Chains A and B, each alone.
Chain A
């Protein structure tokens, strides 16, 4: 079990100040603050959303992790839990919501359908995994994953956040790394603007 203590340096603190002063590095305290208060976006698509609601209910309280503030607005949330099957009709909306979230942002693919299409992978209206359009940080298998499995996945996100560093993170680099993902649109089938050259030339992606 990792400790969540903020005091992580080797410099000795004099005894009369020990209850009041903590010496740490900027990375650790920044990540500690972020990982202990991740705000998920209330984005339940299908059956996995019910297990997410059960995880937010009283038996598997996610308020203990600081995550009970489930904001419906993407502008106020850090983590998008894609819970349920992503369909082609819904895909433009998911990409638009992802673009609207402010950085630093994370995506958790909950369940088999969001990770890789799930049991409905062969359907004509199903996108086989949300990572075809949006970068995913943690995948949780299961159909549906029990709330305890979801809490395990959320703990992995917290570990990932704690392992990041300000100098190396992609949000703060100079230049246009965080370009927005172009929003797909619905024609005779779902059209991804990044693949338009392949559609016209007929080459394999």
Chain B
């Protein structure tokens, strides 16, 4: 059986291609670079093309927007991936502009409101100004930061070489601490002529001004409106995340999330690393579900390398990915109950089951959370003795029984029902417009699950249902997670029965992988939603561009609209039900 070429994975259906080629021939050209696919759109026709794509062809879900800096060709390119919520492969289209310090491109917020945060990120990291964007401020770095960090000619203070491995480590690797090479003894550099005593700029002013611009009219008594900052250090378990709310008494008028407190430069470090070195770094993205992140990255690079793992490795990958989904949902259920006020007891119950799953990860991959288990062409090692029996015990006996107990414990509780039913509602059309993904989308009534819509790996061989609920409130998101855990247990049971024996790697383990030039977008259905990796390789050992489409980051676009009109206490519960992980939001 021939392996499908990487291009076939992202080609839309035949009728769509013919419509695009004929109707829009004046505004777009096919992308003919070797290894690339998709369409290049003229900058002036971008809005018209996007509107036509949305209204006429039915591509209503814009999944990912990112920018690429092509320094040798003196171009900046912005890449868009659009999909249909009825399923199937998607369309890639790009806009190219000549490279300058700050370039301008029309914004797509009026057609697809879900691109709002992603366009702000492209402005912050690349210097692309999106004309027409309602609130273009920096999102991951702070206002006043010098430069746009992801540009190829912007070097960080500890910069040694463009790519790893670094020559200073071997053979003359005299250990030198990086701090001693910098004049301030830390990772800091200032522009020339900077006067540190001239502190006139206030970085918070732009945020508070944007917050005060809201669209509802005032009726009734003129009351005072206060701005309250919740975070970044707060008792919830979600991490360093800050919410600025504009309040009228207890009611929320406007809400803006502020992120970037855990921005760890994953993408810049990813461009310096080789392909195999990026695998442990992907563990630290959504640190509760490391096997899923590894899966997405391995799929994206395997599409470029045109390598398929052996059968046993595919089954192992599915078993590990589904166990990760169970452990992440258990943590999400515990954290949501923690936010609702049940201080720690339901979390103790769900963490107990999670500990048993982490024991299996420790026995197989070596570490409880940062598993680093997948490799290009398979998995790194086979299951040790006795682990298969432990997985069988968990999935056939203990987990179904315990999930019944936890569900009995929580789902009819009157307090959870009254705080959850009808609060924080996200309607179905809004969920698609704001590019929501994962349980957030499915609780609002849209049955879009990548394992069904565009199956990857061997998911088309298993029988499972897609968990959907209709109302889109906090209670439904909790119930969707319970249902997904049950479906994952079902998949693991089928996979254990059918797993064959055999090798677990398709090729010999090498640390210098040869990846042919091209681009690829590999996406998996992670526990939080659609996790996508966009990789551009130019034939060298290091990727040219490495971008992560993070589901938690994009789900936060819907956070503001969901909370307007609710009380302050509900804001915390809504955030808990979206279930964000800061490692992914900030990368």
Contact = CB atoms under 8 A, between A and B. Distances in A.
Identify the interface centre among B264, B348, B351, B369: most chain A CB within 10 Å of its CB: B264
A134 interface: no
Nearest to B232: A93
Contact of B187 (A42, A126, A191, A199): A126
Interface in A180-205: 185-192, 195-196, 198-200, 202-205
B201 A72 contact: no
A153 interface: no
B260 A89 contact: yes
A202 B196 CA distance: 12
Interface stretch (A11-19, A50-58, A168-176): A50-58
Interface string A115-156: 001011111111110001000000000011010000000000
B368 A146 contact: yes
Given A57-B347, A72-B233, A205-B183, A125 B287 contact: no
A101 interface: no
Majority DSSP secondary structure for residues of B touching A: loop
Interface stretch (B62-70, B141-149, B463-471): B141-149
B203 interface: yes
Nearest to B191: A188
B335 to A, nearest CB: 9
Interface in A72-91: 72, 84-85, 87-90
B158 A59 contact: no
B289 to A, nearest CB: 11
A50 B265 contact: no
A90 B203 CA distance: 14
A51 B369 contact: yes
Contacts of A143: 370
B183 A45 contact: no
Interface residues of B, number: 62
Contacts of B201: 187
A89 B262 CA distance: 8
Nearest to B350: A57
A166 interface: no
Contacts of A128: 158, 178-179, 186-187
Given A122-B178, A126-B264, A143-B370, A59 B284 contact: no
Contacts of A58: 348, 351-352
Contacts of A185: 199
A43 interface: yes
Contacts of B583: 46-47
A50 B355 CA distance: 12
B458 interface: no
A45 B179 contact: no
A110 to B, nearest CB: 14
Interface stretch (B235-243, B318-326, B549-557): B235-243
A57 B196 CA distance: 46
A38 interface: no
Contact of A187 (B160, B194, B237): B194
A203 B183 CA distance: 7
A190 to B, nearest CB: 6
A188 B194 contact: yes
A89 B138 CA distance: 12
Contacts of A189: 145-146, 157, 188-190
6 contacts: A46-B287, A46-B583, A87-B260, A124-B149, A188-B146, A200-B195
Interface of A: 42-47, 49-51, 53-54, 57-59, 72, 84-85, 87-90, 93, 97, 117, 119-128, 132, 143-144, 146, 185-192, 195-196, 198-200, 202-205
Given A144-B369, A189-B189, A203-B183, 15 more contacts: A47-B284, A50-B369, A59-B351, A88-B187, A90-B261, A93-B261, A97-B233, A120-B265, A122-B158, A124-B187, A125-B265, A185-B199, A188-B194, A191-B196, A192-B186
Interface of B: 140-142, 144-146, 149, 156-160, 178-179, 183-191, 194-197, 199, 201, 203, 232-235, 237, 239-240, 260-265, 268-269, 272, 280-281, 284, 287-288, 331, 347-348, 351-352, 355, 368-370, 582-583
The 4 closest A-B pairs by CB, nearest first: A123-B265, A188-B146, A47-B287, A72-B235
